[in-house]
Amino acid sequence: MQGRVVDLTKVNDPAFSSGSMGQGLAIVPDQGVLLAPVNGTVAIVAKTKHAVAMVSEEGMELLMHVGIDTVKLKGRHFTPLVKAGDIVRMGDVLMKFDLKQIITEGFEPLTPIIITNGDDKTRVTVISESQVKMKEHLANITQN
- The pLDDT value given to residue 115: 86
Confidence of residue 130 (pLDDT cuts 50, 70, 90): low
Q: Is residue 65 flagged as an active site residue? A: yes
* Model confidence pLDDT, tens digit, residues 53-62: 999 998 989 9
Q: Which of 50, 65, 77, 137 is catalytic?
A: 65
Model pTM above 0.85: yes
Domain extents in the chain: 3-143
Share of the chain above pLDDT 70, in %: 83
Beta bridge partners, 45, equal: 52
3-143: which CATH architecture?
A: Distorted Sandwich (2.70)
Mean pLDDT of the chain: 89
What DSSP line would sit under 81-127, residue for residue? ---TT-EE-TT-EEEEE-HHHHHHTT----EEEEETT--TTEEEEES
pLDDT of residue 66: 98
